[in-house]
Amino acid sequence: MSEYRPPVDEMLYVLDSIAGFERVARLPGWEEVSRDLARAVMDEAGELASNVLAPLNVTGDQTGAAVHNGQVQVPDSFREAYQAFVEGGWGGISAPETYGGQDLPQLISMPVQEMWQSANLAWSLCPLLSQGALHALELYASEELRRQFLPRLVSGEWTGTMNLTEPQAGSDLGLVRCQAKPENGHYVINGQKIFITFGDHDMAGNILHLVLARLPDAPQGTRGLSLFLVPKLIPDENGDPDRPNNVRAVSVEHKLGLHASPTCVMSYEDAVGYLVGQENQGLPHMFAMMNDARVSVGLQGVAIAERSYQQAVEYARNRMQGKAPGSAGTVSILRHPDVRRMLMEMKSQIFAMRSLCYMAALHTDLARRHPDEERRAYHQRRLDLLTPIVKGWICEVAIELTSIGIQVHGGMGYVEETGAAQHYRDARIITIYEGTSGIQAGDLVGRKIIRDKGRALGELLEDIGETASLAKLLPAGDRVVGEALGEGLNEAASTLEWFRKELGADADLPGSVAFNLMMMLGYLCGGWLHARSALAAAGGAEPQANQPRRVCARFYAEHFMPQVAARARRVRAGAANTMALSDEQF
């Protein structure tokens, strides 16, 4: 497997030219945040990623995680890497200073996360889940629980998990049976949870489980779920781990990929837990963690695609085979037009995917820190709208790109020795966990478009329209970028209007067209952000550095903006033939 090279310059370009880093640096409390600070943080994170985490990716995949004597063990090297992570203070990069964090913007934290995920996706899942638990506790836990648990979660001494589903429930959390009963100032938790990432491990001193469970006499369905904090080790009066709680990992799943990330079946037998937030509000509270995690999983799509792309480029550069037009002898396959096509597909889409993730980070920061209440609400609407597109569209594309990464290697990509196959295996889960692509599409259509009455979507399309108008004035060689964006915007707008008019006529319509509608908007957003890049690059002071960005924008306009029209046609096909067969005819 090739080395990992953190693309810091490209990340900074997206922060500056696409996301607009200066907007975050002006927010209250972040007056000391600067581009120089961002560069320094990203350079340091890149050192951890390339020198510590990346070399463990293959060995971790080969060794895996397993249960020994009732304790889940990860590869020894993972523990050492996690200790370096803790000693570097990385656990608190965006956490509040009140609890020992550095309180940096998400717009800085996101590139840092991307580097760790590219370097070693399996390892990176542990701090990712901890960040989500931290955010949920910060928002909803009592001050007593925050004081007791957050400092060590922020420091990385302890880690966090998210315990949602159960064997009979799957994605239907209304079927959750796990029980909680009040007892002597706390709660007693009983039940079993499945698919718990890093539910047990030996990298940290304690694990804090956030568990959905039902109180006695709670309503049926999702309205009867409450959220509980269940530590693996119960702290004493000084906050130090004191005695084991009655929670254990029954087994570790055997998976297609992410072998070194333990996915556990967890058992709770009269385990001590503490209520987080209000009774019967567990699912809304958990969504604070889930929505953060969904954006982070979209970022995983960027990260694993970037790693696959870097390896594909290095292989193509060094693999000598065949002749190319104008060559006298055997050439690097990088010279072959079809290999160039594949690499350009990877490169141009990764740029769009990364830009969309960083835009989500921008809106997260503005929604939390902007001094004007109406502007905070505006940015929250945009973040809510983008979240299922980030998770759904990016992850779907990432699987395509890691598959292309194998194709560039030819037969060598199909054997494990090159490492290309690991990227594909590791990526395959990202369209499934934290809500499948179908769930993301349903959320986008049901909650973010229909329930919102198209308000946030209208605001987004207006922004895209403004960019399209400006991009049509680009130099002649780049004008295809603006033209393709304008055509795609018109196609999407007319399709959304068709959808609005047809909505009440067929109850199956939203579910039948949601996936293609989500993908249509994903490709449209990609073209929008490439157009912003082309505008920045055309007027930039570094023509040599910006020339590849202009080429990528043109390639995306020619090769991927037609996907907007193709997906729009699939949306307008409606539900009739999707639903026409009887159950017995399948």
Cα–Cα distance for residue pair 54/510, rounded to 1 Å: 42
276 and 136 Cβ atoms separated by less than 8 Å = yes
Residue 286 has pLDDT above 70, yes or no: yes
Average pLDDT in the chain: 95
Q: Among residues of the chain, what percentage have pLDDT more than 70?
A: 100
Whole-angstrom distance, CA of residue 430 vs CA of residue 392: 9
pLDDT at 151: 96
Summarised one tens digit per residue, pLDDT across range 288-322 is: 788 889 999 999 999 999 999 999 999 999 999 99
Q: With contact defined as beta carbons under 8 Å apart, do 314 and 339 qualify? A: no
Write out pLDDT tens, residues 178-191: 999 999 989 999 99
Handedness of CA 440, 574, 485, 469 (dihedral sign): negative
CB 316 within 8 A of CB 361: no
- Look up residue 417 and give its amino acid: E
Q: How confident is the model at residue 1 (pLDDT cuts 50, 70, 90)?
A: low
pLDDT at 288: 79
Strand segments, DSSP code E, in 451-517 are none
Place of tokens 């199909």: 414
Beta strand ranges found along 303-393 (DSSP E): none
Residue 345 has pLDDT above 70, yes or no: yes
| Measured distance CA(392)–CA(435) in Å, rounded | 9
Whose structure tokens read 């999407």? 492
Report CA-CA distances (Å) from 254 to 260, 300, 398.
10, 21, 23
250 touches 230 (CB < 8 A): no
Q: How far is CA 40 from CA 33, 357, 361, 472, 553, in A?
A: 11, 21, 19, 37, 29
Cβ-proximal residues to 543 (8 Å cutoff; 6+ apart), any chain? none
The reported pTM is 0.96
Measured in degrees and rounded to the nearest 5, phi and psi for residue 6 equal -60, 125
Domain boundary assignment for the chain: 8-153, 158-280, 437-579
For the stretch 137-150, pLDDT in tens is 999 999 999 999 99
| Three-class DSSP category at 579 | coil
Where do we find the tokens 């990712």?
A: 128
Q: Select from 311, 300, 525 the least CA-distant residue to 399.
A: 300
- Over 90: is that where the pLDDT of 242 sits? no
**pLDDT value at 270 more than 80:** yes
The answer to whether 299 and 114 are in contact (CB under 8 A) is yes
**Cross-strand bridge partners of residue 151:** none
What residues pair up with 67 in beta bridges, in sequence order? 72
* Stretch 453-469: mean pLDDT: 97
- The yes-or-no answer to whether 8-153 and 158-280 have a common fold is no
Question: What letter represents residue 193's amino acid?
Answer: K
**Joined tokens for residue 288:** 């604070």
Whether 343 and 437 have beta carbons less than 8 Å apart is answered as no
* 158-280: CATH number: 2.40.110.20
Average pLDDT over residues 445-467: 96
Whether 287 has a pLDDT exceeding 90, the answer reads no
DSSP state of 335: G
- Closest Cα to residue 162, out of 290, 301, 274, 295? 290
Q: Is 8-153 CATH 1.10.3760.10?
A: no
Residue 333 confidence (pLDDT) above 90: yes
What pLDDT score was predicted for residue 582?
A: 96
* Residues whose CB falls within 8 Å of the CB of residue 60, separated by 6 or more in sequence, listed in order: 74, 75, 77, 78, 120, 122, 123, 259, 260
Residues designated catalytic: 434
For 522-580, write each residue's pLDDT tens digit. Answer: 999 999 999 999 999 987 777 788 999 999 999 999 999 999 999 999 999 999 999 99
Query: Of residues 209 and 240, which shows the higher confidence score?
Result: 209
What is the rounded average pLDDT of the residues 390-415?
Answer: 98
